Structure formats: structure tokens, C-alpha cells
């Protein structure tokens, strides 16, 4: 789907594990990022099932397996991605694309989420829509 991108990020691995840099320096410098949060998902649980009208959301899936589902609210196009969890995966979801994430594992998994504001809106920009029960 054109409005959902997997962002290639700097990732270094060695015998200890991995280190990822999911946020670009220029995004930190221009102060447009907000609402940093780390949700946990218990086995079988779904998070998301919402969209934003003015905001681009970034979701870093730190472990898995996790099912990521995206639906373009304008066209109805739908995409599902299964993130295995052997490396972190960063999604950039455009405005007006519903997104949801389901823990497909038998243990808790974690996401890192943040938003990039389009314009200078300070209003709450979240609208519920169920695409993954």
C-alpha cells in the first residue's frame, strides 16, 4: 500500500543483540514529533483500530510475531503484514489510514509509537474504526 511504508532504519547487530535508531535527527530538530508511547500487547490482544486525519503515525514493532493491518479509508485498499519479531520493523502510516496490531505470540510484546503532526494542530486527532477484531 502506497500510504504505508516500512522505514529502513539504522540497525546494528552483534552477539549481544541489536540496537535500532528509529527516529531521524531532522525530525527531532524540527519539534514536530509528539505522543511518544510504548504499548504492551498481551497474547492475542489487538491495539490500534483507529486512524488520524492530520497526523502521520510511526509504529516500531519491537518483537513478535505481530500482525499489522492497514486500511486506506479513501480507497478501501487493505494490507496485512506479519512481523516475525527477529528484528524490529518501523511502519510509517499516512493520515486517513486505519491501522491495527495483533500479538500473535504466546508472550507480551511491545511497540514504540509516535506521531508527526501535519501543520500546527493541537487538537486530539484519533478516530476509532475496527478493522481487526
7-19 residue pLDDT tens: 988 899 999 999 9
| Other CB atoms within 10 Å distance of the CB of residue 105 | 16
Task: Find how far residue 12's CA is from the centre of its chain.
Answer: 21
Q: What is residue 28's predicted lDDT score, i.e. its pLDDT?
A: 81
Q: What is residue 74's predicted lDDT score, i.e. its pLDDT?
A: 97
pLDDT at 122 > cutoff 70:
no
Q: What is residue 24's predicted lDDT score, i.e. its pLDDT?
A: 82
* Interval 81-91 mean pLDDT: 96
- Concatenated DSSP letters of the chain: -TTEEEEP-EEEEETTEEEEE-S-HHHHHTT-EEEEE--EE-TT-EEEEEE-SSEEEEEEE-SS-EEEEEEETTT--EEEEEE-SSS-EEEEE-TTEEEEEEE-SSS-EEEEEEEEESSS--S---EE--S--
More confident position, 62 or 124: 62
d(CA 36, CA 81): 23
Domains and CATH numbers, the chain: 4-128 (2.60.120.10)
* Interval 91-112 mean pLDDT: 97
Q: What is residue 31's predicted lDDT score, i.e. its pLDDT?
A: 75
CB 32 within 8 A of CB 41: no
Amino acid at each position: 500500500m502506497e500510504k504505508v511504508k516500512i522505514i529502513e532504519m539504522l540497525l546494528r547487530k552483534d552477539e549481544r543483540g541489536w540496537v535500532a535508531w528509529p527516529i531521524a535527527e531532522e525530525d527531532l530538530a524540527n519539534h514536530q514529533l509528539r505522543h511518544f508511547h510504548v504499548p504492551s500487547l498481551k497474547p492475542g490482544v489487538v491495539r490500534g483500530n483507529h486512524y488520524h486525519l492530520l497526523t502521520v503515525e510511526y509504529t516500531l514493532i519491537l518483537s513478535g510475531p505481530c500482525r499489522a493491518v492497514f486500511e486506506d479509508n479513501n480507497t478501501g485498499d487493505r494490507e496485512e503484514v506479519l512481523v516475525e519479531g527477529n528484528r524490529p520493523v518501523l511502519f510509517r502510516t499516512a493520515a486517513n489510514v486505519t491501522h491495527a496490531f495483533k500479538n500473535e505470540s504466546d508472550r507480551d510484546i511491545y511497540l514504540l509509537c509516535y506521531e508527526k503532526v501535519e501543520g500546527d494542530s493541537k487538537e486530539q486527532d484519533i478516530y476509532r474504526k475496527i478493522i481487526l477484531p
